[in-house]
Amino acid sequence: GQQVMQIPQYQHVQEGEDFTTYCNSSTTLSNIQWYKQRPGGHPVFLIQLVKSGEVKKQKRLTFQFGEAKKNSSLHITATQTTDVGTYFCAGPPDRLFGNEKLTFGTGTRLTIIP
């Protein structure tokens, strides 16, 4: 079945440093979604990418969808303490049937050293 892996599993950075998490799917995705989960909270939607090679920005966050639609990345510039949390990618498979199955990646937990 479809597997979605993320690396790294954990990342500790000094406040102000940059952070990147990578998402890799075993199958082609119809779209990629990114979520953030604060400690003790529930996942909250950040963004969705649909097109091959698409790049979107939200302030200090840059999201990219791979050309083959099997990988994606999230880059945060100049991290702040408010960025703490676990970042998940998610995506349904790109196929005619069963493309509602929203599979999540393993997540990257970001901690910030003040």
Partner 1 sequence: NAGVTQTPKFRVLKTGQSMTLLCAQDMNHEYMYWYRQDPGMGLRLIHYSVGEGTTAKGEVPDGYNVSRLKKQNFLLGLESAAPSQTSVYFCASSSRDRGFVAEAFFGQGTRLTVV
Minimum distance, C-beta of residue 33 to partner 1, in the bound complex (Å):
7
Tell me if 21 sits within 8 A of 6, measured CB to CB: yes
Of 48 and 111, nearer to partner 1 (C-beta) is 48
* Residue 9 touching partner 1 (CB under 8 A): yes
* Residue 28 touching partner 1 (CB under 8 A): no
Tell me if 29 sits within 8 A of 83, measured CB to CB: no
Contacting partner 1 (CB under 8 A), which of 7, 55, 102, 113? 102
Binding segment for partner 1 (CB under 8 A), chosen from 13-21, 31-39, 62-70, 74-82, is 31-39
Binding segment for partner 1 (CB under 8 A), chosen from 11-19, 37-45, 55-63, 75-83, is 37-45
How is 1-44 classified by DSSP, letter by letter? ---EEEE-SEEEEETT--EEEEEEESS-BS-EEEEEE-TTS--E
**Distance of alpha carbon 22 from alpha carbon 8, whole angstroms:** 7
In the range 63-92, which residues lie near partner 1 by CB under 8 A?
88, 90, 92
- Where along the sequence are the contacts to partner 1 (CB under 8 A)? 1, 6, 9, 30-31, 33, 35, 42-45, 48, 50, 88, 90, 92, 98-107
